Structure 1
Amino acid sequence: MVERVSALGLDVGQRRVGVAGCDGTGLIASELTTIRRTSFTRDVEQLQQLIDARGVRLLVVGMPYTLDGNSGVQARAVSDYAERLGAALQVPVEFVDERLTSVEAEAQLRSNRRFSPRRDKAAIDARAAAIILQQWLDRRRSGS
């Protein structure tokens, strides 16, 4: 029997958190939603609803390292926030290098004629979360 995979991918920003989920087989990640950050308590409530509905057992969070691979101010802020989320939600957290995922997400979404980078920032965040989660799923499947 194949182990069911139940994880959420998160692209954490200062204003929004892009959220992605995966199918139970752990093959495909897809966008779920974008949470507008208003307060930590509200963020936890919204994520808890998704965790309960999907039976989530893990958060996969994109870590915004600098282009040279170091932890900058943003990476430390994301790490602190993610650790607080994991503790509040009682779910383990794993980190994935997310360098350039927002750029990749925007490029993927540009094929949609109605897409506007200025107007559709939430769509970029959710797509970036799916890319982050897909990277984790692919790495998990390959055993690395």
Structure 2
Amino acid sequence: MKSRERILGFDFGTARIGIAVGNTITCTAQPLAVVASGTGGPDWPGIEKIIGQWNPRTLIVGLPISLCGDETPSSEKARRFARQLGNRTGLEVQLVDERLTTREATDIIARNTASGMNGRRNPPPVDSVAAQLILETYFEEFGDPACA
């Protein structure tokens, strides 16, 4: 896959950051990894290593929004992470509404586990599945019209 077709999605959290990779041609995304985020801030070396491996053209960060459409205390933290991500990488960073992605990711993992779709492998971490859902939201809202 050419790098111009590749994007990475981030589900920012104060303990963990889920990462997913997406393809702008096929409008598909898949869970990729989870890196730490704690009192010392995000695991920047881990994030930069993943970005270097995948060479994306754009980075998408989930923006926590309340059910009634208002920003939350976590919104500013996600905005700060997005600014730092852009400053550190020089890549375009876009914010996407991530309403209910963690809950939906938990439901998806539970359904796949119950139906045996995860096979013998361990299910992907909920944070990386949430990042996948953030990319899918991006494709639906801003991707190629064929994605809708």
- TM (norm. structure 2) is 0.81
Describe how 1:12-51 pairs up with structure 2 within 5 A: 12-23=12-23, 25-38=25-38, 39-40=40-41, 43-51=43-51
Which one-letter code corresponds to 1:133 in the other structure? L
Contact persistence 2:7–2:23 (CA under 8 A)? no
Residue of structure 1 in register with 2:80 after alignment = 80
Residue 25 (structure 1) shift? 2.5
Contact persistence 1:101–1:131 (CA under 8 A)? yes
State the alpha-carbon separation in 1 of the partners of residues 126 and 64 from structure 2.
Answer: 15
State the alpha-carbon separation in 2 of the partners of residues 44 and 85 from structure 1.
Answer: 9
Any idea what the Cα deviations from partners look like across 1:83-118, whole Å, max 9, x if unmatched?
11211121111011101011110110002049xxxx
Residue 142 (structure 1) shift? 2.3
Contact persistence 1:26–1:137 (CA under 8 A)? no
Describe how 1:117-132 pairs up with structure 2 within 5 A: 123-132=125-134
State the alpha-carbon separation in 2 of the partners of residues 62 and 127 from structure 1.
Answer: 12
Which one-letter code corresponds to 2:64 in the other structure? P
Contact persistence 1:44–1:89 (CA under 8 A)? no
Q: Taking every aligned residue pair, what percent have the same amino acid on both sides? A: 26
Describe how 1:42-121 pairs up with structure 2 within 5 A: 43-111=43-111, 112-113=113-114
Contact persistence 1:65–1:72 (CA under 8 A)? yes
Residue 67 (structure 1) shift? 1.3
- Larger strand proportion of the pair: 2
Contact persistence 1:21–1:32 (CA under 8 A)? yes
Any idea what the Cα deviations from partners look like across 1:23-60, whole Å, max 9, x if unmatched?
363421000011112434x6221111111111112110
Aligned residues: 136
State the alpha-carbon separation in 1 of the partners of residues 66 and 140 from structure 2.
Answer: 23
State whether structure 2 residue 113 is matched by structure 1 residue 134.
Answer: no
Structure 1 gaps of 5+ residues are 115-119
Contact persistence 1:10–1:19 (CA under 8 A)? yes
Any idea what the Cα deviations from partners look like across 1:60-93, whole Å, max 9, x if unmatched?
0110011111112110111112111211121111
State the alpha-carbon separation in 2 of the partners of residues 79 and 59 from structure 1.
Answer: 13
